[in-house]
Each structure stands twice: as C-alpha cells, then as structure tokens.
Amino acid sequence: MGVIHLVAPTAQLLPLKTFKADGTGFLSDILRAIYYAVQNNANVINMSFDTQTSSRELENALDYARQNNVIGAASAGNEGQSAPPLNVYPAQWQDDVMGVASTSDQDTRSSFSNYGNEIVWVAAPGEAIVSTYPFSTYAAGWGTSFSAPFVSGGSSLLLNKQANTNESQAAAAVAHAVPLGPNMGHGRLDLVQALAAVDVPPTGSIDSPAGDVIIEAGQPVFFSGSGTDPDGTVTGYSWSFPGGNPGSSNVATPGNVTYSAVGTFLASLTVTDNAGLSDPSPKTRTVTVLPAFSLSSTPSAATVPPGASANHTVTVVPGTSFTGTVRLYVAGLPSGATSSFYPASLTGSGSTTLAVTTATTTPQGTYRLTITGTSGRFSHTTQVTLVVNASDFSVSASPASVKIRAPNSGTYSLAVAAVQGFTGTVNLSVTGLPPFVTAVFNPPSIAGSGTSVLTLQVDKQAPTGNYNLTLIGKSGSLMHSASAILKVR
C-alpha cells in the first residue's frame, strides 16, 4: 500500500487483510473486505490480486461498490499471457474496476504481465517498485500488484480535484494515457493527462435581480446572469421562469420576464461549460407576485324580508401602479332577486354601491354572493352574505299626542312586536324634535319584542307649537316607524 502514497501522499489508507503470508486466501474474506470498505466510506478499493475463476458473489460485491460510487483498480495478473483465452478476475469486469497491466521503465509491457484489452484498462510501472516491507524496511518488488496501486493513488488525486468522481468518470479520465500499442488498453498511466481530463463544473450567478423580488401582477422582472469556469469556458445558459412570460431562456441576459399570475415563483439559472458539465447548485430568485388590485365589501351580511332590498359598498383598492378600469359583477343571487352597481365600473380606485332587490317570491334562505371585479386579464373577488327571512317586526306608539308645558317632560310608549318568529335586536331613535328638546329611550333597544319608554325633556327655551315626530325601530336592514305629535306649550 506504500505505492499509493508515492502518488497521493496525503491519501488516507484503510488496510484490510484478506490473504495469508503465503499469498493464499478465501473468497469470503475478499467479499467481507469489499463490503466493509464500502460501508465504511472508502472511496477507492485497490485489489492487487487476481483469480482465473469467475465468481458471481465477487462480481455482485463489486457491482455494489460501483453503485455506491466507489472506484476500483485490480491487477491484470502475472502469467505473461493474453486474455483471451485467459480469464482474469476481477480485472475482466471493466464496468466495476480498472484492470492494470505492468510496464518497464522503457514504457514496454513487462514480460510477466498479462495483456489484452478485455482485462487491461491501463498500464502502470510494475518493475523494481520500491515500497514498504515488513520490519519497518523498504524493498523493490515486481508484478502487476505493484502497478494497480498507481492507478488507485491516481484515483485519489482525481477525487481530490472532483469529490463526486465515480468509477466510470475515473476510468474515462485514466483513459487519457500514453499509448503503448495493441493489447495494453489505453496505454501507460499519465497522471497529468488524467487530472486534466477531470473538469471542474462551472458556477453560475444571477446578477439581476440582486435578490428576491416582490411585484404586482402584470409587472416585469429584468433577469441577467453570468458564469465562471476555472478550467474551461461557460458555453450554455438555461433559465427557467415558472409563471413568467417567457417561461425559459438560453441566453445570459433574457431581459424582462412578465408575471401575470398571483403567487410565488422560483426562477432558476443553470450554466454549462465546454466539457458538458453543469453547475451542481443552480442559482435561484424568488418572485412574489401580488394582485394588481383587490376588492373589499361592507357590510359583510344583510338580512331582508322577501321583496326588500339590501345595499353593500364595494371598494377597489389599487396596487402601487394600478390605473385600470374594474368592471363589477355579482353571482349567487337567489331566485327572483336582481342587482345593480352604482356605478357599474371604477377606474383606478373608489367605491360603488351594490343594490340587491329581492322579490316577494324569493325563497327564504342564506345566500353567499360573490362579487367579481375584472380588469383586463386580472380578476379578483369578495363575498357577502344575503339572508332572506320573512320574519319581521312592527312598531307602534302611544299616546298619539302628548302636550308638554315648558319646562317639563312627557313620555310615549313605543311597542315592538315580533312577526313570524323575529328574534333580532331593534335599535330605537326619534326624529322631528324641535330645538331644546332632548329624548331618552329606556331601554334604547329591544330584542324580539317588548316596550320602551321615550321621555322628552322640554327646556323653557323650546319654541311653542305642534311637532310631528317619527319614532324609528331598526334591525339590520329592516326598519319600521310610528308617528306621534308633540305639543309644546
């Protein structure tokens, strides 16, 4: 294993012993070592051994290692024979490992080295290789077992340059070698070429906008980007604009992208370099699109008997730059009911009155009305509740006339009577009073039905005369009144 440090001096080693001192061993120990190496986060497995007997278990273990992005290098063997007809494992499984033959210091095949492109992916020095030896000494060795660690060490250097390099990528990089002629794979290992073949991916940058943005529907966002590549050039830009128009672009500066739909969208940029590698961390910007205008309505609910009307105020609240004309519609009216907006549209901002008139035949019930405002491609809604209820109330006043000599007081009795199960709260008031006359209801409101006493206090400055008073009871949109006469003397 000391050969690995000749190539990659800082590589961390995990020695796993699978053979006895006489060079013999068991397949079970080899399998156990492979699985142990993978499960303990080894990145490269060096296999300085070979066998001429195929093993499905061994191939499965190496498949497992490859699937976990572990790079493998194995000796091509020392019989000095050609493959085929010779079979050499695991070097023969070139999807899982790189088979390594031996060369001399003259860049020729070592006489003892097996050869043939079916088992040799690349060659490396394997003669008089000085390495560690028992008893804390060093010794020179010959064989493809000394060649394989050069490739394993080189794979460590590849990982140091590009951490996610896998078996196929390492093999592709190592294939950039010094040609040796036929039957010697891609040639003698050349670390300079191999490391140059591993490309570092580019890095993209979104230059505009500088950060996440919040806009109104219909507004554009200006996009521009750039990219850098430490070992090449950026050749491609791929923008994605969900919710935007256009929805994508392949130039560095797409310019204005218009967002019409309300929502939150993630724009992204991925750059690609001349080696076909893409930025592993695409850059993004969050675009939050707010409505160009909004609607509100008051009151949120109204109760009317069949044949009566209810009014709602609908207000258009514009966004920062909204100046369009909003046309208004209402849906969900009960049978027999009609509606009108006064005015029917608003420009920029403002309020309109929605008048809903029920028919005497309109069924009782609770109805959810949806008010919609549209301006071009934009549409927003608000909702109100209409309750059609035949229950009602009536009011009556007694006596019909009261004479009060100033300064003094007098009273009226105002009776509220429920009709068809009315249970609402009726608020009381009076109009038509002359100056210097004050009015107090006790109680000021009645729930369902009941009687309230209206007391009038006449000041001595009150002008004499007869005055027509209107005593009013109001509950929601329901309102009734009774008349009475005040005589000031």
For 79-105, how does the pLDDT look when each residue is reduced to its tens digit (9 = 90+)? 999 999 999 999 999 999 999 999 999
- The pLDDT assigned to 390 comes to 78
Convert the pLDDT of each residue in 43-57 to its tens digit.
999 999 999 999 999
pLDDT of residue 320 exceeding 90, the answer is no
CATH architecture under which domain 203-290 falls: Sandwich (2.60)
pLDDT bracket for residue 404 (50, 70, 90) = very high
What does the alpha-carbon distance between residue 433 and residue 456 come to, in Å, rounded to a whole number?
Answer: 9
More confident residue, 184 or 322: 184
Average pLDDT over all residues of the chain: 92
Convert the pLDDT of each residue in 442-468 to its tens digit.
999 999 999 999 999 999 999 999 999
β pairing state of 345-347 and 263-273: unpaired
Distances (CA, A) of 237 to 60, 199, 226, 270, 283: 40, 18, 8, 6, 11
Convert the pLDDT of each residue in 344-356 to its tens digit.
999 999 999 999 9
What does the alpha-carbon distance between residue 123 and residue 101 come to, in Å, rounded to a whole number?
Answer: 4
Domain regions of the chain by residue span: 2-197, 203-290, 293-388, 392-488
H/E run at residue 191 = helix 191-197
pLDDT of residue 403 exceeding 90, the answer is yes
Nearest CA-CA partner of 6 in 94, 134, 163, 126? 126
Beta strands across the sheet bearing 293-298: 293-298, 309-318, 350-357, 338-342
**Does CATH number 3.40.50.300 belong to domain 2-197?**
no
Cα dihedral across residues 187, 189, 190, 194: positive or negative: positive
Q: Which fold has domain 392-488?
A: Immunoglobulin-like (2.60.40)
Nearest CA-CA partner of 175 in 122, 130, 134, 125? 122
- The pLDDT assigned to 1 comes to 67
Convert the pLDDT of each residue in 258-308 to its tens digit.
998 889 999 999 999 987 889 989 999 999 988 888 899 999 998 888 888
Q: Which fold has domain 293-388?
A: Immunoglobulin-like (2.60.40)
What does the alpha-carbon distance between residue 49 and residue 1 come to, in Å, rounded to a whole number?
Answer: 13
Percentage, residues of the chain above pLDDT 90: 75
Asked if 181 contacts 220 with a C-beta cutoff of 8 angstroms, the reply is no
Q: What's the residue count for the chain?
A: 489
What does the alpha-carbon distance between residue 178 and residue 379 come to, in Å, rounded to a whole number?
Answer: 69
Distances (CA, A) of 139 to 3, 100, 146, 253: 11, 21, 12, 62
